[in-house]
């Protein structure tokens, strides 16, 4: 009887561990068929451009952004002798027959500022401490870090490279696939 209970316990424990490991495994988007891959980055090369794209979590200190938006890392190099205009409407995602444009970084920064202000006034009866000042400094660092890591619009000079993060509607993360259109290049991604 004791041997049966021990065996049952082992099977249950093994099944439980397997279930936890499979539940905790995170699926990620990888480039679709026909797209050159390098370390799960989609790589598009043309005579004038080198485009590298990967949906991935924002690595900065403002980690809460990953719960609110769908971050995509983009790097573009201009291999031509002409300036190239990088406009916000040239970076759209098509997912489940819906078009998603990047969320303006100004909106995200305003949201972060609002969060910082609300935390500052969360308990007006507590005496001010050095801890609050330290938190405020960290939050300001998060703000400027986000400004520096966000993809910026404008002209891309010949031979120059721009990279950074664009943030989209969080609904995209729950889809099984999507296509990002960058400067007329359609790049499919599938969940793996």
How much is the mean pLDDT over the chain? 83
Length of the chain: 192
User: Could you tell me the strand order of the sheet in which 36-38 lies?
Assistant: 36-38, 41-45, 49-55, 69-78, 161-169
Do the beta carbons of residue 127 and residue 134 sit within 8 Å? no
Among 12-16, 62-66, 94-98, 114-118, the minimum mean pLDDT is found in: 12-16
CA separation for the pair 119, 108 (Å, rounded): 17
Note the pLDDT of residue 11.
55
The residue assigned the tokens 């099977």 is 11
* Candidate from 72-81, 108-117, 133-142 with smallest mean pLDDT: 133-142
In eight-state DSSP terms, residue 186 is E
pLDDT tens digits, 8-50: 655 554 545 444 444 444 579 999 999 999 988 999 999 999 9
pLDDT for the residue numbered 21: 42
Mean pLDDT of 73-99: 95
Name residue, tokens 């910026």.
152
Whether this model's pTM surpasses 0.85: no
Q: Which domains does the chain have, with CATH numbers?
A: 27-191 (2.60.40)
């Amino acid at each position: 009887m004791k041997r049966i209970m021990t065996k049952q316990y082992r099977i249950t424990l093994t099944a439980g561990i397997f279930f936890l490991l499979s539940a905790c495994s995170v699926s990620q988007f990888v480039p679709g068929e026909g797209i050159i891959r390098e370390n799960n980055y989609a790589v598009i090369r043309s005579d004038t451009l080198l485009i590298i794209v990967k949906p991935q979590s924002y690595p900065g200190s403002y980690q809460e952004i990953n719960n609110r938006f769908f971050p995509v890392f983009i790097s573009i190099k201009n291999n031509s002798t002409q300036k190239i205009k990088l406009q916000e409407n040239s970076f759209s995602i098509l997912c489940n027959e819906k078009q998603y444009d990047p969320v303006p970084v100004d909106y995200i920064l305003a949201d972060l500022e609002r969060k910082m202000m609300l935390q500052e006034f969360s308990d007006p009866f507590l005496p001010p401490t050095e801890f609050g000042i330290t938190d405020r400094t960290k939050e300001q660092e998060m703000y400027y870090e986000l400004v520096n890591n966000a993809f910026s619009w404008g002209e891309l000079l010949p031979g120059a490279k721009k990279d950074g993060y664009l943030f989209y509607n969080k609904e995209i993360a729950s889809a099984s696939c999507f296509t990002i259109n960058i400067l007329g290049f359609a790049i499919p991604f599938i969940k793996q």
